[in-house]
Amino acid sequence: MSEATHADVAIIGAGFGGLGAAIRLDRAGFDSFLIFEKANDVGGTWRDNSYPGCACDVPSHLYSYAFARNPRWSETFSGQAEIWAYLRDCVDRFRIGPRLRLDHAVHQARWDETSLQWRLSTSQGAYTARVLISATGPLSEPAIPSIPGLASFEGTMFHSARWQRDHDLTGRRVAVIGTGASAIQFVPAIQPLVGSLTLFQRTPAWVMPRRIRRITAAEHAIYQWVPGAQRAARTGLYWAREAMAVGFLHPPVNRFAQRYAERMLQRQVPDEALRAKLTPDYVMGCKRVLLSNDYWPSLAKENVEVVTEPIRELTQHGVMTADGREHEVDTIIFGTGFNVTDSPAMHRIVGRQGRALADAWAPTMRSYLGTSVTGFPNLFLLLGPNTGLGHSSVVLMIEAQLEQVIAAMRSMRRRGITAIEPTAEAQRRYNERIDAKMAGTVWMTGCQSWYLDATGRNATLWPGYVTSYRWRLRRFRTADYAVVERRIAPPHRQRDRAAPQLVNQSVKVTP
């Protein structure tokens, strides 16, 4: 058997999280790391989601690394191709290329209790690492609902995150299932092309305008040459977005925004019956607020039908709804989101005592700071439980987490410690606080959303301001972590006295 290749740190995933981790580790002087990426390119969600109209609904100055500014964003909200190009550019700028292991799918990462390191089995061989950073992203595993008859449909079917670009939609009869953040971007983009578009809507979404404009040449010059100008723009956007959190954390405040959206719907959709279908019956913000100027207007076009009758099954030729009507189509596009609280990736990480994350997180995901988990030594998660945002840029959350990871690694190095994990008590206290804060938010006002898991708990979003998360993670609290050690078996339990054996690991709380 060939020997495993060792790196001090193994990073899984080469999207915003993984590349950010690589850059920060390198700058902090940790130079032994590798990035494992299952695909043959970097970019994560911005590589996978290439559907027409794909763009970010967070302003570009904020949806980019603070340590890798880009003065040349072409628009206030950039499109997928530009964000993907930015990430690839970061690889070159920060010379990350040699650390990338593309086409390396990590089948399993298992904590070895004897050698106190992670053992990774990948599609291209075995690796070991002392520290594991999982940056696979919460929105990376497309979810296709198990609708009866799925296999019987004879046309073309695909998920929005696996867009079939060689399938020309011109003149086709297209069904779209789902009305989330992805669908509201590609529906207006494909509507002018297709012959007919049947949109299957289970729950209508609240939509607000997206204030998009081109960034002028003069602005580019200012961002490029005036010191601090782009940082000032970012800071302005940061606080404007923080202000938006008020409505999520104190739901009555959102009523003003909801009225605005109602008026926009009235303007954009003159047909009363269609408007009634598109009007949500839940408080704005409970599900993700979608930003679009052309989604509602596109639904008012002649070649579009919005179907609210539940889907019963797929047939050879289309979609059958509960009222017995068959909607004949030749293409079905699933805008049905991602497996977030039940991702297969959770089965691939196995911690102490052979326990997978999926087991530790049944029935609900709990972590410490969204970044580490009791029972999983030297594992750091980027965008782990309760780190999602409804109002601002998750890149800010990743940056805060990376400071915590670097601080943890520095602390281990300084104290000569091989492995740490959060104490069960610290994790319990942290989650109690999360749940208490979550209780009063708009996300818990009674709607169904992917933010909630099967138990009804919100294990995905951060129930606060980005500022409070950054404040909480600004320093590493040694007392909240336990040192994982090997314990030598007492002599009477040793089978071979000449060669002391390592037995079960103990977890000792650091004084």
Which chain residues interact with ligand NAP by CB under 6 A?
A: 56-58, 139, 145, 160, 177-183, 200, 202-203, 288, 311, 335-338, 448, 450
CB of 315 to ligand NAP, least distance (A): 16
User: Between 96 and 181, whose beta carbon lies closer to ligand NAP?
Assistant: 181
For 409, the token pair is 């690694």
CB of 91 to ligand NAP, least distance (A): 22
User: In angstroms, how far is CA 72 from the centroid of its own chain?
Assistant: 25
Among 408, 470, 459, residue whose Cα is nearest residue 138: 459
Among 122, 92, 98, 129, residue whose Cα is nearest residue 108: 122
22 torsion bin: left (phi>0), alpha (psi -120 to 50), beta (else): alpha
User: Between 331 and 336, whose beta carbon lies closer to ligand NAP?
Assistant: 336
CB of 428 to ligand NAP, least distance (A): 28
Among 84, 39, 52, residue whose Cα is nearest residue 192: 52
For 225, the token pair is 């040459």
CB of 349 to ligand NAP, least distance (A): 22
Ramachandran angles phi, psi of 347, nearest 5°: -85, -15
User: Between 315 and 418, whose beta carbon lies closer to ligand NAP?
Assistant: 315
Dump the DSSP string for 3-36. Answer: PPEEEEEEEE--SHHHHHHHHHHHHTT---EEEE
User: Between 117 and 185, whose beta carbon lies closer to ligand NAP?
Assistant: 185
CB of 52 to ligand NAP, least distance (A): 13
Cβ proximity of 290 and 55 under 8 Å:
no
CB of 152 to ligand NAP, least distance (A): 16
Non-local (6+) Cβ contacts of 491 within 8 A are: 497
CB of 340 to ligand NAP, least distance (A): 8
CB of 291 to ligand NAP, least distance (A): 7
User: Between 7 and 215, whose beta carbon lies closer to ligand NAP?
Assistant: 215
Within a 10 A sphere around the Cβ of 89, how many other Cβ atoms?
13
User: Between 338 and 462, whose beta carbon lies closer to ligand NAP?
Assistant: 338
User: Between 203 and 468, whose beta carbon lies closer to ligand NAP?
Assistant: 203
Which residue's entry shows tokens 């902090």? 28
* Closest-approach residue to ligand NAP (CB): 180
* Alpha carbons 213 and 138: distance in angstroms, whole number: 29
User: Between 59 and 422, whose beta carbon lies closer to ligand NAP?
Assistant: 59
278 torsion bin: left (phi>0), alpha (psi -120 to 50), beta (else): alpha
Among 345, 352, 343, 342, residue whose Cα is nearest residue 107: 345
